[in-house]
Amino acid sequence: MIQPWASLFVLGETEFETRTWKTNYRGRLVIHTSKKVDKSACRHPKVQELLGKHGESVESLPTGQIIGVCSLLNCIKVIETGSGMAVLEDGRVITGTELLLGDYRIGSYAWEVEGMRLLDEFVPAKGQLGVWEYGGDFLL
């Protein structure tokens, strides 16, 4: 995941990770930060505020590391968008900060997770696009 989105997700500031594609995979995920940082998003005052709430700053965001673990429960399609809201196929309505922190275009997917945990020590790792298997040795 690109920063600052990865850290905001692991820190619990957003319930869903949004993607333009779905996966049939369900189970444990590690949250990996790419080397790339979305500098435009980092300039957004709300993003800076949310990071600051956790003692983080744009300058301190980790890159190229596994920073968290969770379990993927579901991929829920976005079926409607409107003024300041989006609707998921299960009827949930997305607004506010959740909407700001995701890509809720019609046809996108909200990945629902549980048990998100920030790692005590981050693990350097080379990422890949999509869902990939990490062969490293650390406790999830």
In a domain, 140, yes or no: no
List own/partner pairs for 24-28 with CB under 8 A and 24 or more apart: 25/72, 25/131, 26/71, 26/72, 26/73, 26/74, 27/71, 27/72, 28/69, 28/70, 28/71, 28/72, 28/140
For residue 105, the model assigns a pLDDT of 97
Domain that holds residue 17: 5-124
- pLDDT for the residue 139: 46
pLDDT of residue 125: 80
The reply to whether 89 falls in a domain is yes
pLDDT at 119: 95
CATH label of the domain that carries residue 104: 2.30.130.30
pTM for the model stands at 0.88
Q: Is residue 75 part of a domain?
A: yes
pLDDT digits (tens, 9 = 90+) for 90-134: 999 999 999 999 999 999 999 999 999 999 999 988 765 555 455
Residue 136 lies in a domain: no
In a domain, 135, yes or no: no
Strongest mean pLDDT among 26-30, 74-78, 121-125? 74-78
129 occurs within a structural domain: no
138 domain-assigned: no
- Provide the domain count of the chain: 1
Report if residue 56 sits inside a domain.
Answer: yes
Distance, in Å, from the CA atom of 117 to the CA atom of 71, rounded to the nearest integer, reads 10
Task: For residue 38, count other CB atoms closer than 10 A to its CB.
Answer: 14
- Between residues 58 and 52, the one the model is more confident about: 52
Phi, psi (deg, nearest 5) at residue 93: -105, 130
Percent of the chain with pLDDT over 70: 90
Question: Can you tell me the distance from the alpha carbon of 22 to that of 110, in angstroms, rounded to the nearest whole number?
Answer: 9
